[in-house]
Structure 1
Amino acid sequence: MIFNGLQHIGVPTKKFEQSKNFYQSLGFKLVNTEDNNGSQVGFYQLGSLMIESWESPAEAPGKVGAINHIALDTDDIAAAFAQVQKLDVEFVENGIQSLPYWENGIKYFNFYGPNKEIFEVCQRL
């Protein structure tokens, strides 16, 4: 199978520090922080559950505090992209994207499920 399981759940916030304190008070450990064009990003882990939380301005699409996306993990982003291209889905952006997150960066792509829920497929490099 090309997918390994859940990688993370993405939740936007207007209050990054308050969110950070909240997740940590629940026992989550802050395992990684990033800067995304001036927006703080944090990855919090509790057991096998990973939550990505990032600063999101009020005018950004989607509702702050709601689950923004569910990310599936893969070791082969190109094969996963080819597999999903065979499905009747709408992609959020064109092709495989990248970000300089974690030590060596990530590659990912996003597509919509049947209810417009966003699925991200992500490979940590």
Structure 2
Amino acid sequence: MNLQDNATGFQHIGFPTNDLQETIAFYEKLGFSVALRTYNEEAGEAVAFLQLGNLMLEIYENHQASMQAGAWDHLAIDVKDIEAAYEEICALGLNNQKDIIHFLPFWEHGVKFFKVLQDYRAELRSNRI
């Protein structure tokens, strides 16, 4: 399955913050609501997903955010089949960091994802597991 057929659309934009609660309060003033608040045990980071219509932000508190314009971490693309997406990315030579498929216990069924780290950071993710 090629990526055009596998991808279902935009998943979220992820970026770090130094103060999760302050960041949530800011985006709530803009009309966002908290869709999920959780903790990433592996990274030791508090995480919140904020939603406004079909726009989803993943904010995580890593205390290393530059707090400058343009300081985002990744753009996540939703896919139907994470394993097929991973195989295609590897076959295209885009897995230059030799990333693997990861699992996080977020949302109802968890998520699987891997990162593509070129000049532009992308993450392919599937919530359908």
TM-score interval (norm. to shorter): 0.7 to 0.9
Is 1:110 paired with 2:115? yes
Q: CA separation of 1:2/1:94 partners in 2, compared to 1, >3 Å: closer, same or farther?
A: same
How many angstroms apart in 1 are the aligned matches of 2:95 and 2:34? 33
| Structure 1: tracts of 5 or more residues without a match | none
**For 2:7, which of 3, 6, 22 is the aligned residue?**
3
Q: TM-score, normalised by structure 1?
A: 0.87
How many angstroms apart in 1 are the aligned matches of 2:83 and 2:35? 27
Is 1:49 paired with 2:55? yes
Identity value in percent: 34
Q: Tell me, yes or no, if the aligned pair for 2:8 and 2:79 is still in contact at 8 Å.
A: yes
Is 1:73 paired with 2:69? no
State the secondary structure of the residue aligned to 2:7.
Answer: coil
| Structure 1 ranges of 4+ moved more than 2 A | 62-65, 90-94
| Paired residues, number | 120
Counterpart code for 1:68: D
Counterpart code for 1:8: H
What is the Cα-based RMSD across aligned positions, in Å? 1.6
Q: Tell me, yes or no, if the aligned pair for 1:56 and 1:64 is still in contact at 8 Å.
A: no
Q: CA separation of 1:13/1:108 partners in 2, compared to 1, >3 Å: closer, same or farther?
A: same
